[in-house]
Structure 1
Amino acid sequence: MRAMVYRGPYKVRVEEKDIPRIEHPNDAIVRVTRAAICGSDLHLYHGMMPDTRVGMTFGHEFIGVVEEVGSSVQSLSRGDRVMVPFNVYCGSCWFCARGLYSNCHNVNPNATAVGGIYGYSHTSGGYDGGQAEFVRVPFADVGPSVIPDWLDDEDALLMTDALATGYFGAQLGEIREGDTVVVFGAGPIGLYAAKSSWLMGAGRVIVVDHLDYRLQKAREFAHAETYNFVEYDDIVVKLKKATDHLGADVAIDAVGAEADGNLVQHITSTKLKLQGGSPVALNWAIDAVRKGGTVSVMGAYGPIFSAVKFGDAMNKGLTLRMNQCPVKRQWPRLLEHIRNGHLKPNEIVTHRIPLEHIAEGYHMFSAKLDGCIKPVIVPDAA
């Protein structure tokens, strides 16, 4: 098969790899029909994620058609059109039994916190991802779901991470009716978090970023107020003034550790950009939320040291809620919202790229070229 292969920082290309095979009776082999590049893939692309090994295939957002199932798989059959959550999880451990699929205890021998993630380095289990023509899906009875006939392919694809994670971020904010919500980051997850905040009763939604085309999309797609932080000496002061000097009720960090920058910048947090190895957005969230407010964190943070204003959070009496999204737990409500016309996930898709051109897709997405917000990958086998 043809697959995207990592060859080092900023070096990805399409190569021939063996089609994956059934390794366990509960595996399935899925022929990928759509995949996507996620902002968190850029951490891998830029060489900022530990133990990202040469030869690995990225891609934790994908859908496809079941080609083969193991002997014990009961919920899927050959030919089923399926969406696969980015979490790899067993479905039966202490954490899975409580719906904490992203913290599964049995799928990642390399970490004590996160469970397994497709295509996200060996710190997340070393599972090859879906930026390929085929992918092996472990625990096929508990992860994938058959896509409803009425659901569009791209909408289903975006439910495998970006939409579910954005919705989860708003959910973690415990938004109450009439709350003011500020979202840091206008990438796909930030856009979905802003849109979802309205569904949870927000009375006002503000999005902060530094790219005008993404802020325009936040206004159009999420109907949010927007601020470009480079236009202000101190974005926190601006946000305080805009909220009667109290601060927002809920702040959502949809940025995480920045996706590029060198190690010194990661440690010292001196690179003050919203997309790029420090907790700048998280510290802004802590500062911009009111006393007694809630900070929701679902931006991707790796195992790096950085100075977070934890003392300020404690003294302000903040509630901090965070985790990797347990994707499948969000699907029933999201399907309702999509079917009822409250959400149209693929409105944020800006580029559809053949698998053969994925290196150009990574470069374009990384460099923020051509107004790229969300690139979808179309494998040759589709």
Structure 2
Amino acid sequence: MKALCWHGKGDIRCDSVPDPQIEDGRDVIIKMTACAICGSDLHLMDGYIPFMEKGDVLGHEFMGEVVEVGRDNKKLKVGDRVVVPFTICCGECQQCLKGNWSVCERTNRNADNAIKAFGYQTAGQFGYSHLTGAYAGGQAEFVRVPYADVSPIVIPNGMTDEQALFLGDIFPTGWKAAANCEIEPTDIVAIWGCGPVGQFCVTSAFMQGAARVIAIDNVPERLALAQQAGAEIINFDDEDATIPDRIKEMTGGHGADKCIDAVGSESHATASFDAIIDKVKAATLLGTDRPHALRAAIMACRPGGIVSVPGVYGGFLDKIPFGAAMNKGLTIRTGQTHVNRYSLDLLRRIEEGEIDPSCIITHRAKLEDGPALYETFRDKKDNCIKVVLTA
């Protein structure tokens, strides 16, 4: 079968690889009908996530049709259309029973790597390195889904793949980021990053009752989409003042009650001194992540506020203004998304027409076009916001 595979930093190829097989009675095999390139896939492409190996199959946003079912799987049947959450969950461990799906205690087959990196193991993930279990990803014609009697979301007839696809990651991630903010009706929410997750943060913040949303980026088409959703926008390339000062100016000195870092480890701020130092450190292997957006979010958040971090980080962060966080009494909430906490509610909202997640898709192509579109997405060319691939 065809699959998109990692061959080194910046080197993504469409390869021919063996078809997956049922390995456990709870498995299913799905025929991929739609998959997407995620912003966090770019962290793999750019070498920011460790434990990648040549030939690893990429992709954690995917859905498809069940074509084979393991003998012990009573949830799914051949012909079911399913979206597969990016985290792999056993449904039986202490964390799963608490609904903390992204930190399942059993599904990471390379737990030792995660323990070395994080102190404890986290859940297995599709297509996301040997840090998270070395599971083949969903940017492939066929995918083995382990523990498939737990997480997959059965999609009703009448809902298109493009409407349903983002239930596996970025829609719940944006929703959780906003939910972590405990939004109140008078709240002003500032969001760093207007990529796909940032767009769902904007929409989710409004759906959860925010009075105002301020979206920060420097890509015109992303800012335009956020503005279309109701956000006020800041293009950081056009600002002389710092972003925290600009937010104060826009809010009459009130500031942001809640801040969301939807950027993560690869902040592309260009003018600030700290961002320049981050890039130098990363380029010379003296640092891992570029946390400019997180620093700005902490500084911009008014006392007693909440900083929510759906952006992915992989290692150690320099020069974080923790004194500001502590002295302002900020609450910081982060983590990989517990998709199944939110998926059925969000599925209902799509069914009822409250939101159409497909509105962020700008590029549609075949799987073999994936390597070139990885570059288009990374380099923000051709007004690219979100890529969806089909087999």
TM category (shorter chain) comes to over 0.9
1:114-143 Cα deviation digits (max 9, x unpaired):
311100011111111000000110001001
The equivalences for 1:179-198 within 5 A come to 179-198=187-206
Q: Distance in 2 between matches of 1:164 and 1:74?
A: 26
Q: Distance in 1 between matches of 2:122 and 2:154?
A: 25
Amino acid paired to 2:214: I
Q: Distance in 2 between matches of 1:259 and 1:244?
A: 27
- The equivalent residue for 2:232 is 225
In the alignment of these two chains, the number of paired residues is: 372
Q: Distance in 1 between matches of 2:3 and 2:275?
A: 31
1:226-265 Cα deviation digits (max 9, x unpaired):
000111121111011112223211101101111789xxx9
- The equivalent residue for 1:282 is 294
In structure 1, which of residues 259, 269, 282 is the aligned counterpart of residue 278 of structure 2?
269
Q: TM-score, normalised by structure 2?
A: 0.92
Q: Distance in 1 between matches of 2:8 and 2:231?
A: 38
Confirm or deny: 8 A CA contact 2:194 2:216 kept in the other structure. yes
Whether 2:162 is the aligned partner of 1:154: answer yes
SS at match of 1:123: coil
Whether 2:357 is the aligned partner of 1:345: answer yes
- Runs of 4+ deviating beyond 3 Å: 265-268
Whether 2:314 is the aligned partner of 1:296: answer no
Change (3 A) 1:378 1:93: same
Confirm or deny: 8 A CA contact 1:48 1:259 kept in the other structure. no
Whether 2:310 is the aligned partner of 1:310: answer no
Whether 2:30 is the aligned partner of 1:23: answer no
Q: Distance in 1 between matches of 2:386 and 2:168?
A: 14
Confirm or deny: 8 A CA contact 2:267 2:292 kept in the other structure. no
1:33-85 Cα deviation digits (max 9, x unpaired):
00000000001011221011100011000000111111100000111111100
Confirm or deny: 8 A CA contact 1:268 1:306 kept in the other structure. no
Q: Distance in 2 between matches of 1:23 and 1:259?
A: 40
SS at match of 2:216: strand
Q: TM-score, normalised by structure 1?
A: 0.94
SS at match of 1:30: strand
Whether 2:153 is the aligned partner of 1:141: answer no
Q: Which runs of 5+ in 1 are unaligned?
A: none
1:135-185 Cα deviation digits (max 9, x unpaired):
110001001121111322112111111111011110111101121111110
Q: Distance in 2 between matches of 1:268 and 1:325?
A: 30
SS at match of 2:343: helix
In structure 2, which of residues 335, 338, 363 is the aligned counterpart of residue 326 of structure 1?
338
Q: Distance in 2 between matches of 1:306 and 1:267?
A: 13
- The equivalent residue for 2:285 is none
Confirm or deny: 8 A CA contact 1:173 1:296 kept in the other structure. yes
**Which has the higher mean CA deviation after the structures are superposed, 353-362 or 236-245?**
236-245
User: Aligned-residue CA RMSD in angstroms?
Assistant: 1.9
Confirm or deny: 8 A CA contact 1:181 1:251 kept in the other structure. yes
Q: Distance in 2 between matches of 1:304 and 1:19?
A: 37
Amino acid paired to 2:223: L
SS at match of 2:131: helix
Confirm or deny: 8 A CA contact 2:289 2:315 kept in the other structure. no
Amino acid paired to 1:105: E
Amino acid paired to 2:232: E
Change (3 A) 1:18 1:266: farther
User: What is the identity percentage for the equivalent residue pairs of Structure 1 and Structure 2?
Assistant: 44
- The equivalent residue for 1:66 is 66
Q: Distance in 2 between matches of 1:56 and 1:270?
A: 27
Q: Distance in 1 between matches of 2:62 and 2:130?
A: 19
- The equivalent residue for 2:384 is 372
- The equivalent residue for 1:101 is 101
Q: Distance in 2 between matches of 1:113 and 1:20?
A: 25
**Which has the higher mean CA deviation after the structures are superposed, 303-312 or 337-346?**
303-312
Amino acid paired to 1:46: D
Q: Distance in 2 between matches of 1:327 and 1:197?
A: 17
The equivalences for 1:84-95 within 5 A come to 84-95=84-95
